[in-house]
Amino acid sequence: MAVAKNLIIVESPAKAKTISKFVGKEYVVKASMGHVRDLPKSKTGVDTEHNFEPTYLIPVDKKKVIKDLDSHIGEKTIVWIATDEDREGEAIGWHLLQALKHPEDDHVRRIVFHEITKPAILHALETPRKLDHHLIDAQQARRVLDRLVGYELSPLLWKKVRYGLSAGRVQSVAVRLIVEREREIKAFKAEEYWSITAQYKHDDKEFDAELNKIANKKAKIDDKAAADKILKELEGGVHKVASLEKKEVKRYPSPPFTTSTLQQEAARKLGFSVKKTMVLAQIMYEGVDVFGETVGIITYMRTDSVNLAETALRQAQEVISKEFGKEFGLASPRFYKSKKGAQEAHEAIRPTDLSLHPQALKPFLDKDQHRLYELIWMRTVACQMKEAILEQVGADVATEKSGHALPYIFRATGQTIVFPGFMKAYTEGKDNPEEELEEMEKVLPELQKDEALNVQKITPEQHFTKPPPRYTEASLVKKLESEGIGRPSTYAPTISTIVDRGYIKKEKKQLIPTDTAEVVNDVLVEHFPDVVDYKFTAKMEEDLDAIAEGKRAWVPVIKDFYDPFHHAIEVKQDTLKKEDIVNEETSEKCEKCGLPMVIKLGRFGKFLSCSNYPKCKNAKPLHAPEKSPADIELEKKLAGKKCDKCGKPMVIKTGRYGSFLGCSGYPDCKGIQPIIHFTGVKCSGCGEGQLIERRTRKGGRTFYGCNKFPKCKFATWDKPLKNCETCGKGVVVTTKDGAEKCLTCSGEKE
């Protein structure tokens, strides 16, 4: 293979493909396929006795990559490290040179760029620098720290709680947040309260006012009796406008996107998971084919900066003038202040070319890419538009009866948009839908002070206080960031890890802790408080930032953490007893031997087990699962099913892979039968069978396959709805994004 004059090394093939189109033939662009060296999986790989020296290995699948890269390097080859501009990217560059056994000499040049466009790449080639070893040290410190926590704490959990558990420096704190929120919800005691709303009519316009004050104090109505008393006193009363207040309010746009705010807003407005948002953003950053060329259409997506480049600020005004009108533009750019610790040299997430309107890119992007690009485009444009001007009106309505003033004051509020400003393009979403409703335009009629109002009706309404909401991915990211836990690059993998490892389950976007999460969290909080302490974890992030800035050396930071942590591990190996953690006594007696039953933690959560185990192996679910309407209906359908072994009735049971029929004579008879869920859709594979719901042996994932299996092996992950009317044979399924699509003719269905 020919030696290259210039070798540019990036992480991914997509990035390599895009950059190769911007540079001349004297450059060869190759991908490292991510990290080329890592700590060994079979052991800790960190020498805790000698300055925490890590042992790095080249994985088998990366040896071929290194060999290929090395074949392009000669004595005079200039190696350009063009990995991402963050700590991870800097470390990948250093590991590449180490794996290639290439010295950091004049033939090595480090280039960084915020976007993958031709001007950005050519500018980077003109302004190279050396590798930043402070950034490399910070990444290495994080890797070593996380390895020590994971490889010393996880085995302790295996031994003292249950095999296969894991712990992590950031993941365990995220789990703690979710567990504590769930306990707040369970402990919450709803309190009753009432509101009273008056509906008025004025010049054929109706508007509402809510009872706001009673005897000049904030209205507080505890129960129906109190509400009825107020209604009786108001009966036949007169309502007059006591005061009017009008004021002009300015609203300013939110800053351009950082990693965390993009993740939050994509979750709120588009329903994307954090992981999905980052995957889509990565594709758009590395390059997509638009108008006949491959180009990155957004800037780097891992950033905590809200800065925008001067060129972007100039272009924003041109686009605003063209799309919305000159009156929406700014005379001078609006700048935002990044949070403490943000890397100021970085940019916010923005389109690389604001003149590429989302509508123009629609033919070149898939549905979700387009939706995310549109969100980024609108947010970027909006942040450089004029502020919105609103007129807020407040009216206090006094009450009187028989010429005497009553102590009740109602309050009516309205809001009109005088000038929409940035709101013409975009407004930020809210975590609570009720907040969105409150911000809608609400017009009050023209009222005059002291005028009497026409009362249509007065309505009492009962309410109950609500518990705090469960975390969603968006609100968890927001909380982690506000507490200073983790960094932009860690949020997506952290959430994926705690879900994949069975600590958290997702239900309708809500994050719910499992029994395992609660038990493990309690162990960590009691016995390793520093590991899951919010402030301690945030302080560790600050220390890693200080290493990146060259203000601290990495070894002392690790030592300060590791010495007390390792001592605690050694102590708990001897003092912590498994039975104290996973065995919880109950008053229930074993129906087989009469001894007490205890609550234990198994792979699938808590269950009841005989305390005389293993002599008595009686075990059963802790709580009988609540039957869904579908289960009740299924029970009716299967009521006549008999066991083919003993003839006794079959009952619906739930196992590792879902519901099945089990003999009611268990444990004397262990007969089982599958429950077949027919979809009513004909198989397009063989044209004879029907698609039924099935589950995988590993993991119990639901899929749909032909009931003629193994003769016909047709299967799909997506739920079949019907047979396609267009092609006459194919199966129409519901895809993950909710669209309907035929698997044969691939036509999307309206």
- Parse the chain into domains and list their residue ranges: 6-131, 141-187+470-575, 192-252+388-464, 259-382, 583-621, 629-674, 677-749
Compute the distance between CA of residue 18 and CA of residue 117 in angstroms, rounded to an integer: 8
Answer for the pair 22, 121: CB distance below 8 angstroms, yes or no.
yes
Supply the CATH classification number for the domain 141-187+470-575: 1.10.460.10
The answer, yes or no, to whether residue 624 has pLDDT greater than 70, is no
DSSP alpha helix (H) spans, 501-654: 515-527, 534-548, 554-575, 578-582, 629-637
The answer, yes or no, to whether residue 747 has pLDDT greater than 80, is no
- When pLDDT is averaged across residues 407-429 and rounded to a whole number, the result is 93
What is the pLDDT at residue 342? 59
What is the pLDDT at residue 359? 95
Compute the distance between CA of residue 510 and CA of residue 598 in angstroms, rounded to an integer: 30
Which secondary structure element, helix H or strand E, spans residue 295, and what is its range?
A: strand 293-295
Compute the distance between CA of residue 629 and CA of residue 70 in angstroms, rounded to an integer: 63
Answer for the pair 695, 705: CB distance below 8 angstroms, yes or no.
no
Supply the CATH classification number for the domain 6-131: 3.40.50.140
Answer for the pair 473, 509: CB distance below 8 angstroms, yes or no.
yes
Compute the distance between CA of residue 697 and CA of residue 449 in angstroms, rounded to an integer: 74
Amino acid identity of residue 102, one-letter, is H
Q: Percent of the chain having pLDDT more than 90?
A: 67
pLDDT band at 750 (very low <50, low <70, confident <90, very high): very low
pLDDT band at 569 (very low <50, low <70, confident <90, very high): very high
Q: Does 623 or 480 have the greater pLDDT score?
A: 480
Distances (CA, A) of 154 to 40, 143, 149, 515, 568: 16, 16, 8, 17, 14
Cβ neighbour number for residue 511 with a 10 Å cutoff: 24
For the ranges 234-238, 485-489, 690-694, the one whose mean pLDDT is highest: 234-238
Report which DSSP code applies to 530.
T
Quote the tokens at residue 609. 């087990």
- When pLDDT is averaged across residues 463-473 and rounded to a whole number, the result is 93
Q: Do domains 192-252+388-464 and 259-382 have the same CATH topology?
A: no
What is the pLDDT at residue 638? 72
Q: Does 568 or 666 have the greater pLDDT score?
A: 568
Model pLDDT for residues 505-554, shown as the tens digit of each residue:
998 889 999 988 999 999 999 999 999 999 999 999 999 999 999 999 99
Strand partners, 389: 250, 419
The answer, yes or no, to whether residue 634 has pLDDT greater than 50, is yes
Strand (E) positions, 215-261?
217-218, 238-251
Which secondary structure element, helix H or strand E, spans residue 702, and what is its range?
A: strand 702-706
Report which DSSP code applies to 403.
T
**Using H for helix, E for strand and C for coil, what is the string for 159-224?**
HHCCCCCCCCCCHHHHHHHHHHHHHHHHHCCCCEEEEEEEEEEECCEEEEEEEEEECCEECCECCH
The answer, yes or no, to whether residue 698 has pLDDT greater than 70, is no
Worst-scoring range by mean pLDDT, 179-193, 259-273, 346-360, 727-741? Answer: 727-741
Closest CA to 253 of 310, 308, 216, 296: 308
Whether residue 300 lies in the annotated active site = yes
Collapse the DSSP code of 686 into the 3-class scheme (helix H, G, I; strand E, B; otherwise coil) and give the result. coil
Which secondary structure element, helix H or strand E, spans residue 376, and what is its range?
A: helix 367-382
What is the pLDDT at residue 676? 78
The answer, yes or no, to whether residue 438 has pLDDT greater than 60, is no
Q: Percent of the chain having pLDDT more than 70?
A: 93
In the CATH scheme, what is the homologous superfamily, with its name and number, of domain 259-382?
Topoisomerase I, domain 4 (1.10.290.10)
- When pLDDT is averaged across residues 488-501 and rounded to a whole number, the result is 91
pLDDT band at 345 (very low <50, low <70, confident <90, very high): low
What is the pLDDT at residue 628? 54
What is the pLDDT at residue 727? 79
Model pLDDT for residues 62-109, shown as the tens digit of each residue:
999 999 999 999 999 999 999 998 999 999 999 999 999 999 999 999
Model pLDDT for residues 297-312, shown as the tens digit of each residue:
999 999 999 999 999 9
- When pLDDT is averaged across residues 116-123 and rounded to a whole number, the result is 95
The answer, yes or no, to whether residue 273 has pLDDT greater than 90, is yes
- When pLDDT is averaged across residues 48-64 and rounded to a whole number, the result is 95
Model pLDDT for residues 176-202, shown as the tens digit of each residue:
999 999 999 999 999 999 999 999 999
How far separated are the first and last CA of the chain, in Å rounded? 52
The answer, yes or no, to whether residue 340 has pLDDT greater than 80, is no
Worst-scoring range by mean pLDDT, 174-178, 566-570, 696-700? Answer: 696-700
Model pLDDT for residues 678-687, shown as the tens digit of each residue:
888 888 888 8
Strand partners, 600: 607
Amino acid identity of residue 721, one-letter, is L
Q: Does 649 or 54 have the greater pLDDT score?
A: 54
Answer for the pair 572, 563: CB distance below 8 angstroms, yes or no.
no
Model pLDDT for residues 654-664, shown as the tens digit of each residue:
665 567 788 88
Report which DSSP code applies to 100.
H
Residue bearing tokens 């930020």: 428
> Would you state the CATH architecture of domain 192-252+388-464?
Distorted Sandwich (2.70)
Answer for the pair 347, 383: CB distance below 8 angstroms, yes or no.
no
pLDDT band at 620 (very low <50, low <70, confident <90, very high): confident
Spot the catalytic one: 300, 373, 562, 704. 300
Collapse the DSSP code of 707 into the 3-class scheme (helix H, G, I; strand E, B; otherwise coil) and give the result. coil
Answer for the pair 341, 304: CB distance below 8 angstroms, yes or no.
yes
What is the pLDDT at residue 433? 54
**Mean pLDDT of all residues belonging to the chain:** 90
What is the pLDDT at residue 60? 93
Q: Does 14 or 340 have the greater pLDDT score?
A: 14
Compute the distance between CA of residue 675 and CA of residue 661 in angstroms, rounded to an integer: 6
Closest CA to 91 of 51, 54, 16, 143: 143
